[in-house]
Amino acid sequence: MQHRDERSSRPPLRPQPDHARAGSSARGKVKGAAAVHRWFLLAESALERNVEQLNRLNVFPIPDSDTGENMLATIRACRASVEASSTQDLGELFAAAGSRAMSEAYGNSGTLLAVLISGLAEPLHGQQRLTISGFSHALERAKVRSWSALTDPVAGTMLSVLDAVHSEVHHRALQAEEPESRAALEAAMPYVVSRAFLAVQATREQLPALQRANVVDSGGAGLLVVLIALHSTITGIAMDFAPLQSLPGWQQPPEGERTGDHRLRHRDAADQQPGGQQSGPDAGSSAERLTGTPALDGAEVMCTVRLDPLGAASLRHQLDDLGDSVIVTPIDANPDAEGTYRWRIHVHTLEEPRTSTTVHAAGPVESYAATALHRSPAAPPARDQE
């Protein structure tokens, strides 16, 4: 994304005290491992408070109204991981949190948020406190991991917001007189949140589906909520979500044209074959069997498979032919004795039985779940693209 020239002159969003919810109020400044724990606690509270709005914004890639829930589940897994750890090493904390969250993640946004958190880890290994320069390096790695996890990454999503945030943090790190000081990190955070807010606003114009529905991207908005929690953690100022009220679609249901085209591009639903057993490698489980209703929108498959990098690349290629929104990303930082990693996989498909067969043939499957993709009750039937 381009660097905005108005970055330094635009008044930053400055979260103000909010005593309506105990979980929203800051309790003084913390640092190191305690700050990581506080961030995930506040992010969990923030997502809980805004989960309905984030679900309602969920238009792209499938309007299944679960973005808020999926991102909340990811943050809860991160918080639980940190609470179970005694390390003071930030890299170790984020690596463990990202690994646990990824192994439990669901949905595009839930999975990408887990990838992002995992990506923060590598540059922070050996560090016991966060600085603006360290944050810049961590976000650079998180950006690379997140964009490369998707087969077909798209602008106008959480990825664009992440790009903007990294750009702002990098700029602030270069401009800081004492980049290793806590003061530099604190001073940067209001501008970081403001830049994220602008990037979320911009998503409406970047994706045709969001334009038609007159909403912003739900995953990008969820990342903004998580960053508001980070701002509170670093500055000690309580979270304030009032600016979110001005985001298109935040306060009311999306317009009737929100769905645009939400059919998967590769297959017509009529071509879907009958289902089988969910755990079996030969048949899989159709979305219709999972819910007892016609699977007009196919299934979301989430699974964990042990593969070497070449095997993961091959499986990604096969999944690209079976569906959309393909994410293939390693859970483990290091391979086992046989050179394999655990890979978390996400795909939307109209051919779930074939997808199950393909996944089970690729390597040892540690978990596999297929969930029916149904349009939001408020959404009219999808129409073909022109």
Question: Which pLDDT value is given to residue 152?
Answer: 87
The 10s digit of each residue's pLDDT in 212-250 is 889 999 999 999 999 999 999 999 999 999 999 999 999
Q: Is the pLDDT of residue 257 over 70?
A: no
Last residue of a domain, one of 255, 285, 310: 255
Question: Which domain does 291 fall in, by range?
Answer: 269-372
Q: Is the pLDDT of residue 91 over 60?
A: yes
Query: pTM value?
Result: 0.80
Last residue of a domain, one of 198, 223, 255: 255
Q: Which CATH number does the domain housing residue 21 bear? A: 1.25.40.340
> Based on the number of CB atoms within 10 Å of its own CB, is 108 exposed (0-12), middle (13-18) or buried (19 or more)?
buried
Tokens of 128: 């016991």
- Coil, helix or strand at residue 326: strand
Helix then strand count (H, E) for the chain reads 12, 4
**Closest listed residue to residue 54, CA positions, set 239, 194, 353, 254:** 254
Last residue of a domain, one of 220, 255, 290: 255
Q: Is the pLDDT of residue 264 over 80?
A: no
In a shared domain, residues 173 and 296: no
In a shared domain, residues 79 and 222: yes
Taking residues 74-85, report their average pLDDT: 97
In a shared domain, residues 55 and 177: yes
Question: Which pLDDT value is given to residue 287?
Answer: 34
In a shared domain, residues 280 and 183: no
The answer to the question of residue 379 being in a domain is no
Question: Which pLDDT value is given to residue 382?
Answer: 33
Integer CA distances (angstroms), 180 to 44, 113, 132, 136, 367, in order:
28, 26, 7, 12, 42
The answer to the question of residue 238 being in a domain is yes
The 10s digit of each residue's pLDDT in 45-63 is 999 999 999 999 888 777 7
In a shared domain, residues 134 and 46: yes
What is the total count of domains within the chain? 2
In a shared domain, residues 326 and 248: no
